[in-house]
Amino acid sequence: MLWVVKRAHVRSKDRGSKSGGLDRALSHLDTRKTGAGWGPPAAPLYHRAAQKRDTLGCGNKGSPMLIVMKAHATEEQVRGVCQKIESLGLRAHSIPGTQRTAIGITGNETDLDPGIFEEMLGVQEVIAVSKPYKLVSRDVKEEDTVINFSGTDASFGGDELAIIAGPCAIESREQALTTAKHVACAGAKFFRGGAYKPRTSPYSFQGLAEDGLKILAEVRDRFGLLIVTEAIDNESLDLVEKYGDVIQIGARNMQNFSLLKRAGRARKPVLLKRGMSATVEEFLMAAEYIMSEGNYNVILCERGVRTFADHTRNTLDLSVVPAVQRLSHLPIIVDPSHGTGKRNKVTPLSRAAVAVGADGLIIEVHPDPDRALSDGKQSLFPEQFDQLMAEVREIARVLKRSIAGPVADPQARRPVTASAGSAAAR
């Protein structure tokens, strides 16, 4: 028998239009505003959705399944179901809610009989999810995922937009510290900068590698900024995980499946950039790779796709933001720097990205863009970043969201606890 999940297109960020009627219809299943992102298998994701039995179905053809536990199911009963799943050689993803736990099952290559679980103590319903992506889908978790960082008030996917700013590449300690101080004063809570650069030409600047990561760790210690930096292969990912707070997977690596799996085993959130020619489904499937390995803290990032248009470096596809938000609970941010490739277009597209409902921005800023070792043409002068922040703050307000205000002394900010990248979301 096939069970189908009917999607509920209600976003907590569709403030004002949130459907009380649908909420009531769904009230047999509980929801919660995710507090700390999804944890590792012991404390992870969650689900709420309307469900409907499709009596015409006759098997789920290897579809990952979801088991919804009863409201008063005990921990032991949840554990019992997880053990049952694992005894079948499958993977259990426990998804706690405020009153109810759901358990996702992945790894089944053939039909699973829902009857295996239906009669187990504490089980309310067994559902097969109908999309190729499962853990990413709103079918499995209706409410927005919010990724928090312990010891800070920074987050992705909450009411406040996440602003990531900094140079394309870390070029020197002085360049990084000067930029960091400026963007922190302007209200950014995340600092970007590549220590490993995926360059089109092997002769271009490739990044400072671990020395660059050490500079980034100093930025965090001095200014309380959380570090977003790219890993380009498994080896660099080990180091990025050690020094950084968010592991960036670049557009060129969006379908590097072994790297995605390694990121899925990391203990830090992952910022996944959309590939240059990736469809929404391919983009979400890349996120699914990460989540299927147990890392539920994934942030999506639109950074422009290749089109015939040649007035910009890429074509920033802002329509993907509401498209993704309809399908997935994951936060999605926008990169207008790579999306346009031109400094004069970064602020207008940042305004548009906030207006379209993005959960944040990632912006390249350089103290001397004309001498930058990479992406100088799209890097803002620091003062331009101040102006951008002032403008997008106003737009966020209209949407009943917020962007942190300027701070006089970022040094006075509480440093992120325990350096070497321990400010993870779990």
User: Per rule CB under 5 A, is residue 168 in the interface with Mn ion?
Assistant: yes
Q: Which of residues 67 and 332 has its CB atom nearest to ligand PEP in the complex?
A: 332
Q: Where are the beta strands (DSSP E) in 250-366?
A: 270-273, 298-302, 332-334, 360-364
User: Per rule CB under 6 A, is residue 366 in the interface with ligand PEP?
Assistant: no
User: Per rule CB under 5 A, is residue 375 in the interface with Mn ion?
Assistant: yes
Q: Which residues in the 145-174 window bind ligand PEP by CB under 6 A? A: 168
User: Per rule CB under 6 A, is residue 303 in the interface with ligand PEP?
Assistant: yes
Give min distance, CB of 21 to ligand PEP, in A: 40
* 149, 424 Cβ separation under 8 angstroms: yes
Q: Which does 225 bind (CB under 5 to 8 A by kind): ligand PEP, Mn ion, none?
A: none
Give min distance, CB of 374 to Mn ion, in A: 6
Q: Which does 102 bind (CB under 5 to 8 A by kind): Mn ion, ligand PEP, none?
A: none
Contacts of 154 (CB under 8 A, 6+ apart): 148, 162, 189, 190, 226
Which one of the spans 100-108, 246-254, 321-329, 350-358 is the region binding ligand PEP (CB under 6 A)?
Answer: 246-254
Q: Can you tell me which of 338, 393, 401, 426 binds ligand PEP, judged by CB under 6 A?
A: 338
Which one of the spans 83-91, 203-211, 244-252, 350-358 is the region binding ligand PEP (CB under 6 A)?
Answer: 244-252
Q: Which of residues 139 and 375 has its CB atom nearest to Mn ion in the complex?
A: 375
Which of these, 118, 1, 16, 95, lies nearest to 52 by C-alpha position? 1
Q: Which of residues 253 and 292 has its CB atom nearest to ligand PEP in the complex?
A: 253
Per-residue burial over 224-245, b = 16 or more CB atoms within 10 Å of its CB, e = otherwise: bbbbbbbbbeeebbebbbebbb
Contacts of 223 (CB under 8 A, 6+ apart): 180, 181, 184, 191, 410, 411, 413
* 222, 173 Cβ separation under 8 angstroms: no
Contacts of 125 (CB under 8 A, 6+ apart): 3, 51, 67, 68
Q: Which does 91 bind (CB under 5 to 8 A by kind): ligand PEP, Mn ion, none?
A: none
Q: Which of residues 168 and 320 has its CB atom nearest to Mn ion in the complex?
A: 168
Positions in the binding site for Mn ion (CB under 5 A): 168, 375
